[in-house]
Chain A
Amino acid sequence: MIELRDISFRYDEASAPVLDGVDLLIEEGELVLVSGPTGVGKSTLLGVVTGLVPRFSGGVLSGDVLLDGASVVRAAPRDRAHVVGYVGQDPAAGFVTDTVEEELAYGMEQLGLPPETMRRRVEETLDLLGIAALRDRDLRTLSGGQQQRVAIGAVLTMHPRLLVLDEPTSALDPTAAEEVLATLTRLVHDLGVSVLLAEHRLERVVPFADRMVLLDGSGAVRVGETAELLATSPVVPPIVELGRLAGWHPLPLSVRDARRRARSLTLAAPQPTAEPQPTGVPLLGARALTVVHGRTTALREVDLDLDGGRVTALMGRNGAGKSSLLWALQGSRKRRAGSVDVAGRDPQRLAPADRRAVVGLLPQDAADLLYLETVAEECAAGGPGTRAILASLVPDVPDDAHPRDLSEGQRLALALSLVLAARPQVLLLDEPTRGLDYAAKKVLAATLRRLAAEGHAVLVATHDVEFVAQAADQVVVLAEGEVVSSGPADRVLPESPSFAPQVTKVLGPPWLRVDQVAAALESA
């Protein structure tokens, strides 16, 4: 249906090509997954299909894009809108109107469809995506998963034949991500829409993909069956890692496949991980913490202890109060009631400069912390020792680079070292894994473990189950501003179906990570 022929793209004549001689044919009704480490050009490839590259990115594009055999490489995105629907990384950033219904109709208004058709399609789409109850709602009051489904619906009403999605589940909690993916599979199966989707969180999308496009950074792509490509891919979900380790062939892609294979696997029970002994008095103690925004109660009487030497993961669906808890612990957000105590001091009563020496917080948008032109300037402004901390987190960050040109992982490390420069004993992180690939997440997990080993108390809010399995000792689950469960990670994670990591789903508790299985296989 749509075909890329010998597509090459570079930002300017002198730089290395982002895409080099790419050929890709997308058939009617298939779901194609674009994968690869961060910064290899996944979004660029999607942009070539939608026409946003090079129009919105600049750069030099060569080659041809064919739609049913006719070249559309010169057509603007707006003139492909009736065939190619595009949903960007942040669906809220692309909303033009106020309410769900108007947003669904916006694209059709641009196409000039007759009112009766618009009315009918809006109703059909509301039902198809299961958002009929939201029709009159203000778009800003929707949760992340709902916004994502509305954004998909808003392009679906134009009846595109190809849907292009850039990281549709990366900002969502596990349940919302499943809803969105279930919707996508339904479109592929029932309506025959083709889907081209880029995603970091392979564990979520691999079971749904028909074929995969793998970018490795050289500019070339490999296209093929998902299982085949994953056998050698540099980025793989835990389930494939497990399959590779156990020597299963072909590789299992879904939990169900893997579970069937795992019956043949006999493993000695893993060594119970040595519980780090709490130092007696917790570094941070919060009692009956209550935070209210306007008429909503963000937190309701939350008790929380953070011990030195431990990494605690804070989980819960979007809007459960995770960010509110972090900012209230840090002291910037006023609490309605309750107390926070860090070594006898209440961070809320301290001046900002003293506060950051007590509790460090890395906010959701790490870029909000950065304002200078080079890494060296940022480190100088951050105070003595910042450069040394950065070097210990990520060794090879160039001094003269602009912070915005760094990779996601490097930028996160820079922001983290600015926070750590004040030497806080308690460190809070808000969704640090957004936009990180598996390698960068591993580095981050190791960093957090090392900080804990140095005696810090670390609390990390995240949706990423696999990351929690790697990094956390303790897990606290929030719902509606209350703690619903808390305890050691190897007890809390397997308890819940939506928070269980893939390895647990396959092998059952107490297995959490592939490296545990590897150790057990080695010792056997």
Chain B
Amino acid sequence: MSATTSGLRSRVEVARLPRDLHPLAWYAWAIGLAAAASSTTNPLVLGLLLAVASLVVVARRSDQPWAASFRLYLWLALLVVVLRVVFRIVFGGTYPGTVLLDLPEVPLPDWVLGVTLLGAVTREGLLGGVYDGLRLATIIVCIGAANALANPKRLLRSVPPALHEVGTALVVAVTVLPQLADSVRRVRAAQQLRAGEQRRVRGLRRVLVPVLEDALERSLALAAGMDARGYGRAPGQTRRERWTTGAFLLLGLGGICVGVYGVLDRTAPRVLAAPVLVLGLVAAVAGLTTAGRRVRRSRYRPDRWRWPELAVLGSGVVVAAVGVWASREQLTIAYPDLTGVPEISLALLVGVLVGAVPALVAPEPVSRTRAVAA
């Protein structure tokens, strides 16, 4: 008995040793937070969500380059709030309430019906702008948190085997973008070292031609290197296997199309909705599986689902569920009146705080840039 509990405890602890959490868990958690944010305009809840996301990022981000991008998302979020408020002032028209600043209304021609420029600025109007902007900003920060916490490449790499080749192509495309920016910087500096075309449009060619040549050469080198290392190696497939795979995939695609149409169009016969959609999904999964069987590949140290992954995923689900529940059951709290002071319920407070659980349970990331001390 005690042997099993100590075994369990050591397994629990081992899962928390420094490693990279499965990227899907991070994305699921972030989407949960974003879902909660989208179902409220309460600034207290949104602020809490922002704090939770930032806390987890600070606690669990790695020292990889993409982790530094979180700051950019914060700036973008701030910009969104500011823009939203400015738009409210410029295009807001008059919103009933306490007038803070009485700007003159600019008369517009008749054909822009419904749009007014400037006009009285009310406290309620401004607050509405802030709340709306804050909601969008929180969603942006949540997605930014996922990008800072999870390696986007590892996410692309966890696609099913049948899509492996597409996945690798996407990974390479993701890598090429920063290289392109590098290349542009280098060529611009180099072109300043010689005389040449000065005009703006023609001058563009001075940068474009060397950069494109460089990019093309690099991609060829990469393609050659990948081919020489066995990328796209596939043992032959029998004619019948090819037919089965093809048939499944076609059937699946068709089924999903018809099914989605059936679900969206209320006038379509109900048989075409859920049943066909499910059938299509099943066929697509079967197609991917048979196609995947032909790919004889293996994964080196795949990301495994352990309890911290489940806990991170679960915390995201809880936050989303509480947020959606509140938007239905506690309307006055989820969408507070602009004239009063917003309040928060205990359920929402606790629910959102559950989102901070990953800061505690997720394992610390592994350092990549420093040499690991022996």
A interface, CB within 8 angstroms of B = 50-52, 55-56, 76-82, 84-86, 88-90, 93-99, 101-102, 105-115, 118-119, 122, 133-138, 141, 154-155, 158, 327, 330, 332, 352-353, 355-356, 360-363, 365, 367-372, 381-383, 404, 415, 418-419, 421-422
Q: A105-B301, A109-B300, A356-B194 are in contact. Are A93 and B221 (CB under 8 A)?
A: yes
Are A421 and B368 in contact, with the CB atoms below 8 A? no
A351 to B292, CA, bound (A): 59
Q: Tell me, rounded to whole Å, the shortest Cβ–Cβ distance linking A247 to chain B.
A: 45
A133 to B371, CA, bound (A): 7
Q: Tell me, rounded to whole Å, the shortest Cβ–Cβ distance linking A331 to chain B.
A: 10
Q: A112-B296, A136-B372 are in contact. Are A77 and B228 (CB under 8 A)?
A: yes
Residue from A88, A154, A158 whose CB has the most chain B CB atoms within 10 Å:
A88
Q: Mark B198-228, 1 if CB is under 8 A from A, else 0.
A: 0000000111111001100010111111111
Given contacts A85-B228, A96-B231, 9 further A-B contacts (CB under 8 A): A78-B228, A78-B233, A94-B224, A96-B171, A106-B229, A111-B233, A135-B372, A370-B210, A381-B196
A371 to B209, CA, bound (A): 6
Q: Tell me, rounded to whole Å, the shortest Cβ–Cβ distance linking A282 to chain B.
A: 22
Are B227 and A418 in contact, with the CB atoms below 8 A? no
Q: Mark B282-300, 1 if CB is under 8 A from A, else 0.
A: 0000000000000011111
Chain B residues with a Cβ closer than 8 Å to the other chain, count: 54
Q: A56-B224, A138-B368 are in contact. Are A361 and B230 (CB under 8 A)?
A: no
Q: Which residue of A lies closest to B190 (CB)?
A: A368
Are B171 and A110 in contact, with the CB atoms below 8 A? no
Q: A78-B230, A78-B231, A108-B300 are in contact. Are A418 and B189 (CB under 8 A)?
A: no
B interface, CB within 8 angstroms of A = 64-65, 151, 153, 168, 171-172, 186-187, 189-197, 205-210, 213-214, 218, 220-233, 296-301, 366-369, 371-372, 374
Are A96 and B172 in contact, with the CB atoms below 8 A? yes
Question: Inside 8 A of A85's CB, which chain B residues have their CB?
Answer: 228-229
Question: Inside 8 A of A82's CB, which chain B residues have their CB?
Answer: 230
Are A86 and B225 in contact, with the CB atoms below 8 A? yes
Q: Tell me, rounded to whole Å, the shortest Cβ–Cβ distance linking B36 to chain A.
A: 32
Question: Inside 8 A of B218's CB, which chain A residues have their CB?
Answer: 93
Question: Inside 8 A of A90's CB, which chain B residues have their CB?
Answer: 221
Q: Tell me, rounded to whole Å, the shortest Cβ–Cβ distance linking B354 to chain A.
A: 32
Between A and B, 12 residue pairs with Cβ closer than 8 Å are: A50-B228, A51-B228, A78-B231, A78-B233, A155-B229, A352-B192, A363-B189, A363-B193, A369-B191, A371-B191, A371-B210, A382-B195
A115 to B230, CA, bound (A): 17
Are B230 and A110 in contact, with the CB atoms below 8 A? yes
A84 to B224, CA, bound (A): 13
Q: Tell me, rounded to whole Å, the shortest Cβ–Cβ distance linking A171 to chain B.
A: 14
Q: Tell me, rounded to whole Å, the shortest Cβ–Cβ distance linking B340 to chain A.
A: 48
Question: Inside 8 A of A93's CB, which chain B residues have their CB?
Answer: 218, 221-222, 225
Are A118 and B298 in contact, with the CB atoms below 8 A? yes
Q: A78-B231, A368-B210, A371-B210 are in contact. Are A118 and B300 (CB under 8 A)?
A: yes
A20 to B221, CA, bound (A): 25
Q: Tell me, rounded to whole Å, the shortest Cβ–Cβ distance linking B62 to chain A.
A: 10
Question: Inside 8 A of A101's CB, which chain B residues have their CB?
Answer: 300-301
Q: Which residue of B lies closest to A382 (CB)?
A: B195
A96 to B168, CA, bound (A): 8
Q: Which residue of A lies closest to B161 (CB)?
A: A112
Are A78 and B210 in contact, with the CB atoms below 8 A? no
